[in-house]
Amino acid sequence: TITIMATKGDVSMGTVITANRKSDGAYMAAEPYRPQFHYTAENGCLDDPNGLVYDPSNGTWHMYYQFNLVYPGFYNWGHAQSTDLVNWKELPVAIPADEIGIIFSGSAVVDDKNTSGFFNDNKPGESKLVAFYTYHGGPRGQVIAIAYSKDHGVTWTKYDGNPVIDESHRIYGADFRDPKVWWQEDPDEPAGGIWLMVVAGGRGQIFSSHDLIDWKFEQALTFADGSELHSECPALFPVNTDEGEKWLYVASSDWYCVGDLVKEEGGWRFVAETGRIESANGGASKMYAGQHYYNDGSGQNRKLMVHWLQDYSAPGTLTDKRWNGVQSIPRVTGLKKIDGTWHMTAYPAKEIESYRSDVIYETENLTVSAEDGNIL
């Protein structure tokens, strides 16, 4: 790491240049503290998972994330890709900061109907990926922007009309970030559906669009009792339950809310039937900033969530450790009612079973008492 400072009179300016020599997998696997089954970046600071999407054009899973080589630092979207949800390859930074601001959290979709028009000249086999991210720290404050990729998420072209949701829509305060976008089927729409986005940071809000560029405000979210719903890193998605389909609002992995997504005369609405329900895995010191994949490459329509596992042994605390932050394994997220109370469920994705080899111990009909201690 090289620091360069220039001084003229009493004014100084500086920059830091960091050169990184890539390591191979065997070297990294042998490093102290390095997890063997969870994704970590080779170097630098990693946190919120972003832009989780499966690209059907070449069969790859993508995991973007908040990233910078300097801890802490100005954020960009880091990038890793996989063909099996288990083995990940780290790729160069995908969406870097620019003059509008640094790049905060967001999501990605497959624009298979080319509603945006970005892919009019696509060649056969090219991808149709669109990313949504938050600009932060620039002169305009927090605003929502987009980029698109034709080469399977490796390089991204920022839309020249950014931001697509500007500061004039920031009517509930300065915190306006973490857009999560999905395609909502609707037979009344000419394209057979409409794009919906949930934004939070402060007050949760829903927007709609026909082309991923022009967005219309739909709703400011509330809990069942009418009180305002505020969170970071919103996730809103349908899950199947014994009572039929329900919609689950997950707030930063910290807590969740259950309700229904309905189309009314005034537009699309999330109608909550509960208040805030604390997550067993939540809390700022545990799992955080969870996001689910836009789509499921297995065809099972699973809601696969990845969460940032916070790491307090950051570089500077452990001097022989050059990375910080871990991503959880993908977990199939659902909802179950037990004794009249909704519980969010999570099970490791089936792909994780490929880690396993021989059975170490097996038994049937085992009865264990408290006196037996730890049966493992």
List residues with catalytic annotation.
48
100's tokens: 């509008």
Amino acid letter, 97: A
Nearest CA to 309 out of 282, 331, 330, 288 is that of 288
299's tokens: 């065809």
- Return all residues near 18 (Cβ < 8 A) that are at least 6 apart: 1, 2, 69, 70
Secondary structure (H, E, C), 227-269: CECECCCEEEEEEEECCEEEEEEEECCCEEEEEEEEEECCEEE
Pairing relationship of beta strands 76-82 and 89-95 according to DSSP bridges: antiparallel
CA distances in angstroms from 101 to 78, 104, 141, 169, listed in the order given: 16, 9, 8, 18
Amino acid letter, 30: A
| Distance of alpha carbon 279 from alpha carbon 231, whole angstroms | 14
Amino acid letter, 241: T
